[in-house]
Amino acid sequence: MKIAILSRNPNLYSTKRLVEAAESHGHVAHVIDHLKCNIEIEQKGPALYYDNKYLLGYDAVIPRIGASVTFFGTAVVRQFEMMNVFTAVNSRGIIHSRDKLRCLQVLSKEGIGLPKTVFTNYSKDVKHVVDSAGGAPVVLKLLEGTQGLGVVLAENMNAAQSVLEAFNGLKARVIVQEFIREAKGADIRAFVVDGEVVGAMRRQGKPGEFRSNLHRGGTSSIIELSTEEKYTAVLAAKAVGLGIAGVDLLQSARGPLVLEVNSSPGLQGIEKTTKTDIASKIIQYIERNVNR
């Protein structure tokens, strides 16, 4: 097979691992910077122009689309879809996952466990908003934030009011979420490929930090998920429409709660923690879905 890996940097760990896995399975892999593609739309059919030539003959695409370039990145993925190329992560799923509010709404419709979440149109009734999210402390998240950026813990009502007023003054869209105290600053990243959890790790925030992101100094350890946690992760990925997903879960007194569904989960943390060849799992998923 001829596989395109959409990535802006061929030296990233995830990109290199996908190339290695594809080649070890006997396939040809090309790294393509999606921001340098021209999308051509005309009556005779869709086309993509890149690096002085048209992109032809590809059997599959693995999108690695960054959050900051979602609009153009998903347009390129969608163009491949129009060209009848199998996409390991489809454009619709990427768009659903990147809109945190929409993603939570989709998960809620499927009856998936979530922290209580409130979103308003810059409401000044802060007390009602905080009470609706379970009362202080609450977590406030920018809808556009990634890797723990734009996430604030408001310990009390006064802090919540101050932060909300600051965000409102900047016309920044935020959601207010229940703080799950029993999680103790830890969450779970479940890596889902083709309807199966292929790896999972527990991420623990550094002392004094409620955010567990590895990019913010958190640590990781391998974890064996319960049947309910596996089911929740798989159901969340399916609800959002993702064949490959990093599903972030919190362990709570009422069962697993989904924090976020990531459409471009990194491979470095999960592979090094679990000692599992996740990249090959992705290539095998493509092999099962592409007509050779």
Note whether 198 and 229 are same-domain residues.
yes
Note whether 47 and 21 are same-domain residues.
yes
278 found inside a domain: no
Report the CATH number at residue 143.
Answer: 3.30.1490.20
Report the CATH number at residue 59.
Answer: 3.40.50.20
Note whether 155 and 198 are same-domain residues.
no
The tens digit of pLDDT for each residue in 155-213 reads: 898 998 888 888 888 888 888 999 998 888 889 999 999 999 999 999 987 665 555 55
101 found inside a domain: no
DSSP 17-44: HHHHHHHHTT-EEEEE-GGGPEEE--TT
Locate 78 and state its tokens.
């969608």
Note whether 174 and 188 are same-domain residues.
no
Number of domains in the chain: 3
Note whether 126 and 175 are same-domain residues.
yes
Structural contact between residues 106 and 114, judged by C-beta atoms closer than 8 angstroms = no
Note whether 64 and 25 are same-domain residues.
yes
Name 263's bridge partners.
none
Domain interval for residue 66: 2-89
110 found inside a domain: no
CA separation (Å) from 84 to 65, 138, 181, 220, 264?
19, 45, 47, 39, 21
Note whether 7 and 52 are same-domain residues.
yes
Model confidence, pTM: 0.89
The tens digit of pLDDT for each residue in 59-100 reads: 999 999 998 899 999 999 999 999 999 999 999 999 999 888
In angstroms, the CA 242 to CA 190 distance is 13
